[in-house]
Amino acid sequence: MSKQAVEFLSKEEVLLLRYEPRDGTSWIHERLSRNETIVIKGTFHLWQEHLVEELSPVEPEELWSSWKPDTVSFRVAQLVNEYFTFDKKILGLDYELLIHQDVQLTYKLFTAEQKISIFQVIAELRPARIVIGGPESDAIPEIVFIGLINNFPSGFELKRYALARVSSVVRDFVETKVDAEQLFRRYVSKRLKKQSKNFRRIFNQSEIEKYRFLHSKLVEMLNSESTYNETVWQAEILQIILLLNPKYIKALRETPVRDTYRNTTRKIDLLLIDASGNIDIVEIKQPFDKCIITNNQYRDNYIPLRELSGTVMQIEKYVFYLNKWGQKGEEYLTQKYKAELPGDFSIKITNPGGIVIMGRDHNLTQEQRQDFEVVKRKYKNIIDIITYDDLLRRLNFIVKQLETDT
């Protein structure tokens, strides 16, 4: 322990502050015997009542082995339900201070530069209590409090601030060569500049496992496509789509939509609802090889096959019906699916989009791929056309990027 050092140690259910002054401990005992106060680091105000008996070899070995005769120990807090509750008198506080037993305690948690008591500064805010670390609902996380300590104004910063305040008055009357206000702002901006924290890494491994599973599941489905009926196929692909697009919170089947022109009600196979209440239409078709683009050219172009053109047309009609239905449709759908959605949640019909999932593109030639891309871009403002090979590529690239970021 270095000279004028302070450390904390736990003895049974008591937190001790052990102090080693520069010039021995005799003066401390003399002052305490006269009922005078000892102030340590400008923060801890200690009296005779806080002094504990000197340690001896009968104490636990980890305490005795580090004890020195030129130190004194004071009782500063009591352990209650995993928290050290500090003596208000010692810290000069009028509020409760609780620090979790797992928090690493050093005097820097209590004392800033120039012997400024951090918790007495906080007292100016008049809190009912301050809790640091642990499970309490009003607890300040340890890492957050450490950040506060690290950004606590230094002596140099306080000097800059004082000069800036003087400068704000003097410069109204006298021309100065130094802009102290600008220097202060520049210093604070540099010192407190936030660094982006890569909190994605916390979830990366679980995300990698999720997308690997989805990729392998889709490969398995494509290899055994003939064993699925249409309903089961749609249900499982829909789960993949929802996991790939977390903005969607609910999928509705056989959703009614009013055809006001023919005065009839039609049904949309699958309707997706996002977290804002907006809806989109999704069509999921089983992946027949030849359902998206022709094998032969028409006037030097490969054109969409009937299955793709018909599916796109169907979605465009549903979008048309929904937009015409408008506010009445919103109210109807909100009421109909009220029990399946969060409270006070409203469904909104605001230019719905469409998603088409169908077909394979792995056997297409380069020319076919180019023409298919033209078709996809023609409809991209309304409909996102995705092949099953597209899905595989997306899942694969997501996994690779997550692995790179880990």
Q: Which of the four pLDDT bands, split at 50, 70 and 90, describes residue 303?
A: confident
Q: Which of the four pLDDT bands, split at 50, 70 and 90, describes residue 69?
A: low
Q: Of the segments 56-70, 93-107, 376-390, which one has the largest average pLDDT value?
A: 93-107
Q: Which of the four pLDDT bands, split at 50, 70 and 90, describes residue 11?
A: confident
Residue 55 has pLDDT above 90, yes or no: no
When comparing pLDDT for 395 and 115, which is higher?
A: 395
Residue 61 has pLDDT above 70, yes or no: no
- Residue 197 confidence (pLDDT): 64
pLDDT per residue over 247-288, tens digit each?
A: 999 999 999 999 888 889 999 999 999 999 999 999 999 887
- Per-residue pLDDT, averaged over 339-359, amounts to 92
- Residue 56 confidence (pLDDT): 47
Show the 3-state SS of the chain: CCCCEEEEEEECCEEEEEEECCCCCHHHHHHHHCCCCEEECCCEEECHHHECCCCCCCCCHHHHCCCCCCCEEEEEEEEECCEEEECHHHHCCCCEEEEECCCCCCHHHCEEHHHEEHHHHHHCCCCCEEEECCCCCCCECHHHHHHHHHCCCCHHHHHHHHHHHHHHHHCCCCCCCCCHHHHHHHHHHHHCCCCCCCCCHHHHHHHHHHHHHHHHHHHHHHHCHHHCCHHHHHHHHHHHHHHHCCCEEEEEEEEEEEECCCCEEEEEEEEEEECCCEEEEEEECCCCCCCCECCCCCCCCCCECHHHHHHHHHHHHHHHHHHHHHHHHHHHHHHHCHHHCCCCCCCEEEEEEEEEECCCCCCCCHHHHHHHHHHHHHHCCCEEEECHHHHHHHHHHHHHHHHHHC
Residue 194 has pLDDT above 60, yes or no: no
- Per-residue pLDDT, averaged over 290-298, amounts to 79
Write down the domain spans for the chain: 5-151, 156-191, 205-405
- Per-residue pLDDT, averaged over 82-98, amounts to 94
Q: Is 55 exposed, middle or buried (0-12, 13-18, 19+ CB in 10 A)?
A: buried
